[in-house]
């Protein structure tokens, strides 16, 4: 019995029987606990139990119990499979511990796919070298020399592919951008989704997938809009005639910028006169936006709003000489235009009670203006410097009472805006924004104030208008509150149902 216990094959046999069963139980328990907690290491435990452990037992069984020489082909194949499974397990450990469990803001979470692929490739090469050297007894020096000769041929055949790979490695070490950054390369721009060994994947502002080869990025200029942060300045250029007062133009551009929601208040937008040309002065509005994805939207909104604001301010955008002459030749007769304006005012609410002479005086003092959809006609908290009579389009007034309940009212053709705060000599508590493009007659508030002083009937009409609108706003706020309460009751009933 003592001799039996001392034999090598008996010790290895008992160790395999007991050790294999114990390791299977331990790894099974680890898999069960990791699976219940949905831990990523569960895959590592499964590979160790189902692949690595059986191959290790088989290798020990062949070499220690059956005492087959390690130089035999069968043992070498089993040993090769064991090393391959170990390399695979190491790759899983590397991927789980280094990248999958990385904190959101750490460098590991922002590491491009190219870096991960290179590390995996390095581990595979090391594993292959170990297998060739230890298992198959190959001379690595001769193999490296042979690969060096072959690499020349491969390099000539795969110049573009290798160029992309080397450019990708250079981009990784230089790190001009990271996954999630918004960049532009030449005339192409988008947010970085993935950096691979061959290319960079971008999500464009049109929501398309753009794939750029790494070699193209290495040759072109890269602009990163996300560094040091997502904010970026826009320089929007406009030209106005030489007779337009520069201070008026710059003030108009700033007023437009302040009404664009995506334009940041800090840093404050500003406008400058940049260049005097033969027929115009070039101005720049410099705005800061929060994120590059708003760029097309801000350019569209700002450019459209400048056109409307220039028309209202009486600042002419420069036109070619032929077009300018045509416009001047076909201009309407001032007296006929004034009569048409008087006819529009005579049909407006409240103003229609004035005598014809008073309406004619208002018509002589007013001009025609346009507001684009989304532009503000009246601001809450201030007395308007003008009174507007809508001739076409629709506007929406919003109001919040003392309790903060919102209300709204619609304004259409022949309705007057800005008179209630003027008649009460109080700041307006209603904000009015154009829903569609709105054409209106603009009357200076001092002219309307004079008409109110000379014609008490006009004051009475405006008081009635204010009372009627206040009632509409009150009912609107009450209806919105009831709808909100009904929606809250419905959401509470749904879980119970």
pLDDT in tens, 380-410: 887 788 889 999 999 998 876 666 666 788 8
Coil/strand/helix, residue 357: helix
Q: For residues 38 and 247, what is the distance between their CA atoms, to the nearest angstrom? A: 65
Q: DSSP character for 63?
A: I
Last residue of a domain, one of 182, 199, 224: 224
Q: Answer whether residue 192 is part of any domain.
A: yes
> Looking at 134, 160, 186, which one is the last position of a domain?
160
pLDDT at 492: 64
Q: Are residues 196 and 248 in the same domain?
A: no
Spatial contact of 308 and 370, defined as CB atoms under 8 Å apart: yes
Query: Residues 44, 93: contact at Cβ < 8 Å?
Result: yes
Which of 206 and 59 is assigned the larger pLDDT?
Answer: 59
Q: How many CB atoms lie within 10 A of CB 464?
A: 12
Is 491 within the bounds of a domain?
Answer: no
DSSP state of 294: G
Residue 211 — pLDDT band, cuts 50, 70, 90?
very high
Enumerate residues 6+ apart whose C-beta is below 8 A from 213.
164, 167, 198, 199
Question: 239, 193 in Cβ contact below 8 A?
Answer: no
Q: Please report the pLDDT score of residue 108 as a whole number.
A: 58
Nearest to 176 by CA among 114, 223, 121: 223
Residues above pLDDT 70, as percent of the chain: 78
Residue 257's domain spans which residues? 232-327
pLDDT given for residue 328 in this prediction:
41
Q: Are residues 316 and 403 in the same domain?
A: no
Mean pLDDT of the chain: 80
Q: Which is it for strands 199-203 and 182-185: parallel, antiparallel or unpaired?
A: unpaired
Q: Are residues 278 and 177 in the same domain?
A: no
Higher pLDDT, 264 or 462: 264
pLDDT band at 322 (very low <50, low <70, confident <90, very high): very low
Q: Say yes or no: 415 and 467 in one domain.
A: yes
The token pair at 334 is 């001032």
82 and 188 in a single domain? The answer is no
What is the distance between the alpha carbons of residues 250 and 152, in angstroms, rounded to a whole number?
A: 64
The pLDDT of residue 154 = 56
pLDDT at 252: 92
Q: Per-residue confidence at 97, pLDDT binned at 50, 70, 90? A: confident
Cα separation, 128 vs 83, in Å, equals 9
Residues 240 and 216 in one domain: no
Measure the CA–CA gap between 434 and 337, rounded to whole angstroms. 25
98 shares its domain with 9:
yes
With contact defined as beta carbons under 8 Å apart, do 203 and 191 qualify? yes
- Residues 325-332, mean pLDDT to the nearest whole number: 42
pLDDT class for 450, splitting at 50, 70, 90? confident
Burial of 288 (0-12, 13-18, 19+ CB in 10 A): middle
Cβ-contact 411, 417 below 8 angstroms: yes
| pLDDT at position 250 | 93
Name the burial class of residue 335, with classes exposed (0-12), middle (13-18) and buried (19+) by CB atoms within 10 angstroms of its CB.
Answer: exposed
493 belongs to a structural domain: no
Domain count, the chain: 4
Residue 486 inside a domain? The answer is no
Q: Is residue 16 part of a domain?
A: yes
Q: How far is 298 from 289, CA to CA, in rounded Å?
A: 8
User: Residue range 200-229: average pLDDT?
Assistant: 85
Residue 333, pLDDT score: 53
Confidence label for 429 from pLDDT (cuts 50, 70 and 90):
confident
Q: Which two tokens stand for residue 470?
A: 């206040």
Same domain for 175 and 105, yes or no, is no
Q: Domain containing 194 — which CATH number?
A: 2.30.30.60
pLDDT in tens, 34-48: 888 888 888 889 999
Residue 78 has pLDDT above 80, yes or no: yes
Q: What is the DSSP letter of 220?
A: S
pLDDT band for position 286 (cuts 50, 70, 90): very high
Instruction: Count the helices and strands in the chain (H runs, E runs).
Output: 18, 16
Between 465 and 2, where is the model more confident? 465
Least confident of 2-16, 90-104, 163-177, 181-195: 2-16
Specify the range with the lowest mean pLDDT, choosing from 43-47, 134-138, 312-316, 408-412. Answer: 134-138
| 22 and 133 co-located in one domain | yes
CA distances from 18 to 23, 24, 45, 65 (A): 9, 10, 19, 15
pLDDT band for position 494 (cuts 50, 70, 90): low
Question: In terms of domains, do 43 and 174 share one?
Answer: no
Residue 495 forms part of a structural domain = no
14 and 122 both lie in a single domain: yes
Query: Is the domain of 311 the same as that of 435?
Result: no
> Mean per-residue pLDDT for 172-198?
83
Q: Is 496 among the domain residues?
A: no
For residues 373 and 171, what is the distance between their CA atoms, to the nearest angstrom?
45
Is residue 494 in a domain? no
Last-in-domain residue among 285, 300, 327: 327
Furthest C-alpha separation in the chain: 133
Nearest alpha-carbon partner for 236 in 281, 299, 153, 301: 299
């Amino acid at each position: 019995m003592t001799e039996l216990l001392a034999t090598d094959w008996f010790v290895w046999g008992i160790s395999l029987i007991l050790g294999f069963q114990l390791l299977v139980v331990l790894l099974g328990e680890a898999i069960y606990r990791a699976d219940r907690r949905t831990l990523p290491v569960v895959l590592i435990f499964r590979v160790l139990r189902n692949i690595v452990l059986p191959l290790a037992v088989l290798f020990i069984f062949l070499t220690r119990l059956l005492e087959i020489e390690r130089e035999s082909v069968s043992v070498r194949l089993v040993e090769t499979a064991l090393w391959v499974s170990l390399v695979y397990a190491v790759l899983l450990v590397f991927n789980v511990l280094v990248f999958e469990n990385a904190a959101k803001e750490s460098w590991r979470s922002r590491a491009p796919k190219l870096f991960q692929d290179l590390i995996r490739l390095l581990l595979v090469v090391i594993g292959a070298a170990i297998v060739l050297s230890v298992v198959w007894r190959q001379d690595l020096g001769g193999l490296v020399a042979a690969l060096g000769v072959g690499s020349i041929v491969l390099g000539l055949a795969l110049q573009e592919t290798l160029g992309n790979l080397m450019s990708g490695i250079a981009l990784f070490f230089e790190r001009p951008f990271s996954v999630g950054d918004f960049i532009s390369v030449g005339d192409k721009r988008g947010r970085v989704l993935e950096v691979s060994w061959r290319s960079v994947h971008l999500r464009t502002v049109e929501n398309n997938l753009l794939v750029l080869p790494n070699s193209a990025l290495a040759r072109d200029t890269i602009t990163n809009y996300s560094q040091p942060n997502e904010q970026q300045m826009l320089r929007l250029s406009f030209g106005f005639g030489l007779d337009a007062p520069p201070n008026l133009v710059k003030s108009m551009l700033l007023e437009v910028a302040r009404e664009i929601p995506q334009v940041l208040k800090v840093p404050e937008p500003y406008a400058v006169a940049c260049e005097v040309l033969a027929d115009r002065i070039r101005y720049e509005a410099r705005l800061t936006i929060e994120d590059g994805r708003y760029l097309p939207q801000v350019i569209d909104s700002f450019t459209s709003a400048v056109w409307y604001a220039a028309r209202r301010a009486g600042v002419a955008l420069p036109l070619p000489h032929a077009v300018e002459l045509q416009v001047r030749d076909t201009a309407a007769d001032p007296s006929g235009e004034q009569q048409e304006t008087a006819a529009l005012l005579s049909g407006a609410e409240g103003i229609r009670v004035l005598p014809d002479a008073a309406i004619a005086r208002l018509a002589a003092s007013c001009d025609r203006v346009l507001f684009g959809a989304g532009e503000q006609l009246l601001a809450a908290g201030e007395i308007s410097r003008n009174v507007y009579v809508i001739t076409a389009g629709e506007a929406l007034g919003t109001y919040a009472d003392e309790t903060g309940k919102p209300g709204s009212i619609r304004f259409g053709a022949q309705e007057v805006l800005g008179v209630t705060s003027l008649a009460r000599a109080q700041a307006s508590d209603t904000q009015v924004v154009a829903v569609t493009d709105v054409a209106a007659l603009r009357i200076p508030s001092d002219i309307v104030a004079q008409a109110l002083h000379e014609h008490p009937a006009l004051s009475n009409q405006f008081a009635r208008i204010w009372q009627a609108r206040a009632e509409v706003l009150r009912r609107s706020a009450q209806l919105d509150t009831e709808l909100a309460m009904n929606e809250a009751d419905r959401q509470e009933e749904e879980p119970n149902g």
